[in-house]
Amino acid sequence: MKINFIPTLILTFLFSFIAISQNPTKDSIMLKKLYNTALTDGKAYDWLDYLSNEIGGRLSGSVEAEYAVKYTEAQLNELGLDKVWLQPVMVPKWTRGFKEYAYIEGSSGIKTETHISALGGSIPTPNLGLKAEVVEVHSFDELAALGKEKVEGKIVFFNRPMNPEFIHTGYAYGGASDQRFSGAEHAAKYGAVGVIVRSLSHKMDDAPHTGAMSYGKTPESKYIPAAAISTNGAELLSSLLKLDPNLKFYFKQNCKIWDDVLSYNVIGEIKGSVYPDRYMVVGGHLDSWDNGDGSHDDGAGVTQSMEVLRLFKKLNYKPRHTIRVVLFMNEENGLRGGKKYAEEIKSKNEKHVFAIESDSGGFTPRGFSLETDAANVAQIRSWAPLFEPYFIHLFTEGYSGADIRPMKGNIDVLAGLQPDSQRYFDIHHSENDTFDKINKRELELGAATMASLMYLMDTYGAK
């Protein structure tokens, strides 16, 4: 969002003066209560323990996803909210099948096993697997320059790493994710028989990172199998290709695309005492990939969001607006839950004022990214002194969150919780995303931080 500097500066000063008159003592006391309660009597960590260790990975359409719906619905009912319900949504179903297998075969016949993970939405390989020569590229332009003559009948190996120069690792992820999502679509145009994509992670290890992919407008008869290779495997394959350009890559995966199935968003609310027909939302996505247990992505966001409403109930806080927690289904491979919620509130003409999402891991919170106009950015930044004791300092304009973004145009303010991002992509979408990587205190701090912004937005409203 481009904003003229001078008007923004004026607004910032204006809302700073307004903040002085808003009763900072009352607000600072409330924030202190929220943080103290989350840190001494929190439930997010226990909820996440159950989601991760008793239910596990919750891929859309799976039995585990169904268990997660029932579990979180029951937990929200126990909080004594004014209303808890399930919002039906049809979601894609894709199953991984047996564990994938892959090896690099040199011209001499020597085979070196490597680690891969089928990309979500991919077709399987033939029953006996797929073996072909490999062509390495780093961009779609490079692939196009090679053309059909050099690509047809081969496996395309996309090997563009995440850019380590970005301090915010989300930008590095965004700069490399197109090859994972659309690589098979582009490679199929030139007659490739398969796609291998470097895992989206800064960490060098043997754990491949899966994620969603799409065939775009490719005819179904031209679909080709696609898999992620670990970062160590990508480095090895690239090095061996330089020594032996005619080597072959073999991989076998048994994934399957099924018809859509019925699932649910899980929703609970506390009715507003002043504006019952004006809504504020806090949420995360209930589904996760299946190769880990989805603790950081996004079990953390789910339980932090539930904790926001629990904290309000625990402290007997009566919100002015109706506050909803929405646990969205199918963010990972379809965004059906977020789109469904946005469609329904639009059809019902429900006025939404504010939404905040947690979907960047359960690490130490640093602040918020904001999608709104200059006046609301200035007001939120005027609250910075209230957050300073908790080391919350980021109030940046930028992307809020995948599940709440479909509401854009029917809402005043969208916000995303911004935790420290340096370790997130070490585990994201991989077998490394497990409960033992969760720090209880960091998780609780994130919940309290979201609750604090929700309290302030509820108290003073959007501009």
Q: Which residues are catalytic?
A: 331
**Angle subtended at Cα 260 by Cα 256 and Cα 261, rounded to the nearest 5 degrees:** 110
Instruction: Give the 3-state secondary structure of residue 107.
Output: coil
In the structure, how many helices (H) and strands (E) does the chain have?
A: 13, 16
Q: Which two tokens stand for residue 461?
A: 């409203």
- CA dist., res. 133 & res. 113, Å (int): 16
Distances from the Cα of 455 to the Cα of 197, 301, 386, angstroms: 43, 18, 12
The DSSP-derived string for 127-190 is: TT-EEEEEEEESSHHHHHHHHHHHHTTSEEEE-PPP-TT-SSHHHHHHHHHHHHHHHHHHHHHT
Angle of helix 440-460 relative to helix 24-41, nearest 10 degrees, comes to 150
Strand partners, 282: 325, 356
- CA dist., res. 184 & res. 376, Å (int): 41
**Encoded amino acid at 283, one letter:** G
109 conformational bin, left if phi > 0, alpha if psi -120 to 50, beta if neither:
left
- CA dist., res. 407 & res. 340, Å (int): 10
Give the chain's radius of gyration (CA, Å): 23
Helix%, strand%, coil% for the chain, nearest 5: 40, 25, 35
